Amino acid sequence: MAGITIVFDFDRTIIDGDSDNLVVTRLGLTDLFNELYSSLPWNSLMDTLMVELQSRGRTMRDIAECLEGAALHPRIVAAIKSAHSAGCDLRIISDANQFFIETILEHHGVLGCFSTINTNPTFVDGEGRLRILPYHNESSPHGCNLCPSNMCKGLVIDQIRASKTEKNDFFIYIGDGRGDFCPTLRLEEGDHVMPRKLYPLSDRINSNQMLVKAKIHEWSDGNELEKILLQLVDIK
């Protein structure tokens, strides 16, 4: 399976909900979020909220415990482990952030299944606060009008493909949101895209099927995701 690269989005794909919204709602930041939402880019907004959160006395452990409550379908966990055991190259491209993703995946025992996680980086500053940076440096715009300024997932797909040496490699891309349409357009014949049914990526693909070269396989829940994915990589 060394020639198969499986790329997952994270929010509403690996986990059933949204990791940012989970932290905002459970740790009491909804009012401030609503106040700042229209004035800050999402990535900057989440960074600002993390600073505020810890100014209220919340700790990194509080954030981690909140994230460990994220819903993750057991069949998606099983699919990840099966594909990894079969030798597939599993990766994540997500507009969430490093700390949120790694905390959730480690809690569910699948962090080590992924070779690379491309997402907004995080660090803890000198005052012990979680800080979130943009994946792409906004001083050097990526130039894609389909993607937010902090991350072009299509560019990441191009970089991954360029790093592959086997001519017979193919990609499976699994996602749900508007930001997953750009990487879908970078897929080639022989690749596969798995959009979540009734979510923005599915709507965009269905409205622009002539632009999509990859084979399309819709899924609605963890059971369908596992079944389709394991069929594509021919794991019996």
Distance from C-alpha of 174 to C-alpha of 217, rounded to nearest angstrom? 9
Numbers of helices and strands, H then E, in the chain: 10, 8
User: What type of residue sits at position 51?
Assistant: V
N residues, the chain:
236
Active site residue 47: no
Helix H or strand E encompassing 97: strand 89-97
Give the chain's end-to-end CA distance (angstroms, integer).
13
Question: What beta strand segments (E) does the chain contain?
Answer: 4-8, 89-97, 114-120, 122-124, 130-132, 170-175, 192-195, 215-216
Helix H or strand E encompassing 205: helix 200-207
**Coil, helix or strand at residue 108:** coil
Active site residue 11: yes
Please, what sign has the CA dihedral across residues 94, 12, 73, 65? positive
Please, what sign has the CA dihedral across residues 197, 232, 82, 110? negative
Catalytic residue among 9, 20, 47, 180: 9
Separation of CA 32 from chain center:
25
Helix H or strand E encompassing 46: helix 42-55
Catalytic residues: 9, 11
